[in-house]
């Protein structure tokens, strides 16, 4: 039973209001003493020409109480509904227990394709903590939309083209060696890249030399392409190692270079549609009618830019995947860039421009300043994850040294802590990177949710006789009902997270569910209770365990069964 819908139908029957409008207004009171559901009558005052409190009173008198409602109360302008708790427990739990792993799944996305562009590190630069946000936010959005029945395509739009590769080639030829790159990989490439910028301050001609090498790349010069491809292969190998640690996968690695042979056609189309204009030697699309700066398509030297490649990529993806929505997970400071080229797509006559969505997030900064690969001021992602695993090992050794599979659990919990920490707050907020905060295993954290899951697993291991002949009257106490309310909310939370592109909806929900479950565990003896009571409470344990595991998986986090 969908309680909100049933209550909305009851109110609609006596008021003549639209059921959907009533459903959107129904609230879950913060205090159970105020009811399980509440309908505020403020918005009806104008239409009914009465005080909200009077409207609530009159509606309550007209309603014939159904079997699933215990009683209805008026509290000023609110109409409060108190459910029959055993009836409520049965309707909520039966949904989960019929197929625990499938609970929360939906077919609302059936037949629809979603393209998600996320992570996108730059080739030949280290995968640092600044790349974490796009990677884990994009991965969570991918999982959430998949849960709702959409066909998702995860694309890693690698930064694998541009003048920076000219700089790297110059740096390699001046201060690098093949042996050092083979031995140290990206670490060596980063060292010489930082050195280039230091030296270019003293010798600006190095920048001209770098531009010259990039022109050679564009002209398919054999040596330039060989070095570029070498740097690319080294980078992908190291990136994959980090992605494997994070449990992140992609359906396509199509970076900027992939679109090199596809941009001419798009530039020609812009010309044919009279959208390209010359400005100081460069070619632009004028966006003054949209109160935006012009979108730069070609530089003075004829070189392409990010916007050129993004426009080309979007058109390629529409033709390839026929997406219903294309989501771009990048930093907030790229807002204008996306608004500009989204508008260019629209001006080209593509009505699907409305399906392009920029999902911005706040930046990560170090306690001693902004991340920068040019200065070498970075925290490498692999170092962070390994540190998190090592810190977790120390905690396990001190609290549970006999834990089976300690290495695996340390990896699951340590990496889970890093991911959960990033996804717990609203994505738009800036994150100040702190080792202490990142590896804090107390409070509203990933390890707390994982531990709650492990606790539920432990109870289930100790009680193997669970059957579905449940006496729901044993689940009517306040602690049990609070858990049931949160269980009922899980499918709605998934849809809400998808609509807002906001994984923190799930992470915060999991903390709330864990807290409610631990209160239930504290208030209600389980394994020591009578068999019929024990069986009923264990059904609730199973439901919570399944949802915690499901919710963590949406965030890209494992659920250890022992901790």
- Residues forming the active site: 125, 128, 131
- Virtual CA dihedral for 280, 281, 285, 286, nearest 10 degrees? 20
DSSP letter string, 322-335? --SEEEEEEEGGGH
E strand or H helix at 416, and its extent? helix 406-424
5 three-state secondary structure? helix
CB 293 within 8 A of CB 285: no
How far, in Å, CA of 155 to CA of 302, rounded? 28
Query: Hey, what are 284's tokens?
Result: 């632009």
Edge-to-edge strand ranges of the sheet holding 364-366: 369-370, 364-366, 431-433
Query: Hey, what are 315's tokens?
Result: 């058109």
CB 34 within 8 A of CB 75: yes
Backbone φ and ψ of 421, nearest 5°:
-60, -40
Please name which of 65, 75, 88, 96 lies closest in space to residue 31, comparing C-alpha atoms. Answer: 75
In a 10 Å sphere around its CB, with 0-12 CB exposed, 13-18 middle and 19+ buried, how is residue 57 labelled?
A: middle
The three-state DSSP-derived secondary structure of 32-80 is HHHCCEEEECHHHHHHHCCCHHHHHHHHHHHCCCCCCEEEEEEECCEEE
Per DSSP, what are the bridge partners of residue 59? none
Please name which of 51, 67, 52 lies closest in space to residue 10, comparing C-alpha atoms. Answer: 67
450 three-state secondary structure? helix
How far, in Å, CA of 328 to CA of 339, rounded? 12
The answer for residues whose C-beta is within 8 angstroms of residue 421's C-beta and 6 or more apart is 437, 438, 445, 446
DSSP letter string, 155-215? E---B--SHHHHHHHHHHHHH--HHHHHHHTHHHHHHHHHHHHHHHHH-THHHHHHHHHHH
DSSP for residue 444: S
The answer for residues whose C-beta is within 8 angstroms of residue 555's C-beta and 6 or more apart is 136, 140, 143, 419, 420, 423, 503, 506, 507, 510
In a 10 Å sphere around its CB, with 0-12 CB exposed, 13-18 middle and 19+ buried, how is residue 135 labelled?
A: buried
CB 446 within 8 A of CB 422: no
Please name which of 160, 189, 161 lies closest in space to residue 175, comparing C-alpha atoms. Answer: 189
How far, in Å, CA of 57 to CA of 490, rounded? 32
């Amino acid at each position: 039973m969908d309680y909100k819908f049933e209550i909305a139908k009851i109110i609609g029957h006596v008021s003549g209001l639209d059921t959907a409008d009533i459903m959107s207004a129904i609230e879950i009171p913060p205090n159970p003493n105020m009811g399980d559901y509440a309908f505020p009558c403020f918005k009806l005052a104008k239409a009914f020409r009465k005080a909200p409190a009077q409207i609530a009173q009159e509606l309550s008198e007209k309603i014939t109480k159904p079997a699933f409602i215990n009683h209805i109360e008026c509290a000023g302008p609110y109409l409060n509904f108190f459910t029959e708790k055993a009836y409520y427990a049965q309707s909520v739990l039966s949904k989960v227990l019929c197929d625990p792993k499938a609970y929360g799944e939906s077919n609302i996305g059936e037949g629809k394709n979603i393209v998600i562009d996320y992570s996108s590190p730059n080739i030949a630069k280290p995968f640092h903590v600044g790349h974490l946000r796009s990677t884990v936010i994009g991965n969570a959005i991918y999982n959430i939309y998949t849960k709702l029945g959409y066909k998702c395509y995860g694309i890693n739009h690698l930064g694998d083209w541009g003048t920076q590769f000219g700089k790297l080639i110059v740096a390699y030829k001046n201060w690098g060696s093949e042996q050092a790159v083979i031995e140290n990989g990206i670490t060596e490439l980063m060292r010489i890249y930082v050195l280039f910028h230091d030296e270019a301050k003293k010798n600006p001609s190095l920048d001209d030399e770098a531009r010259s090498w990039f022109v050679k790349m564009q002209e398919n010069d054999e040596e330039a392409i060989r070095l570029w491809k070498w740097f690319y292969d080294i980078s992908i190998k190291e990136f994959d190692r980090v992605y494997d640690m994070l449990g992140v996968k992609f359906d396509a690695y199509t970076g900027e270079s992939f679109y090199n042979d596809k941009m001419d056609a798009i530039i020609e189309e812009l010309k044919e549609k009279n959208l390209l204009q010359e400005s100081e030697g460069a070619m632009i699309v004028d966006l003054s009618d949209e109160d935006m700066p012009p979108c730069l398509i070609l530089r003075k030297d004829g070189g392409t830019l990010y916007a050129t490649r993004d426009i080309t990529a979007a058109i390629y993806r529409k033709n390839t995947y026929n997406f219903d929505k294309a989501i771009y997970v990048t930093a907030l400071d790229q807002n204008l860039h996306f608004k500009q080229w989204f508008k260019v797509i629209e001006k080209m006559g593509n009505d699907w421009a409305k399906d392009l969505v920029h999902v911005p997030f706040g930046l990560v900064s170090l306690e001693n300043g902004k991340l920068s690969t040019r200065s070498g001021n970075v925290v490498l992602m692999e170092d962070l994850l390994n540190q998190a695993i090592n810190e977790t090992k120390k905690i396990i050794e001190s609290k549970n040294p006999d834990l089976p599979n300690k290495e695996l659990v340390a990896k699951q919990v340590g990496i889970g802590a890093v991911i959960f920490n990033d996804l717990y707050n609203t994505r738009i907020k800036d994150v100040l990177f702190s080792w202490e905060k990142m590896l804090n295993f107390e409070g509203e954290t990933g390890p707390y949710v994982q531990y709650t899951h492990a606790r539920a697993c432990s109870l289930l291991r100790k009680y193997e006789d669970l059957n579905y002949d449940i006496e729901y009257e044993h689940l009517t106490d306040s602690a049990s009902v609070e858990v049931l309310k949160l269980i009922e909310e899980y499918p709605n939370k998934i849809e809400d997270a998808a609509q807002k592109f906001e994984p923190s909806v799930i992470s915060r929900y999991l903390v709330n569910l864990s807290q409610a479950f631990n209160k239930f565990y504290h208030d209600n003896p389980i394994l020591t209770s009578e068999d019929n009571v024990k069986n009923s409470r264990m059904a609730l344990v199973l439901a919570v365990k399944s949802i915690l595991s499901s919710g963590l998986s949406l965030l890209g986090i494992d659920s250890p069964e022992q901790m």
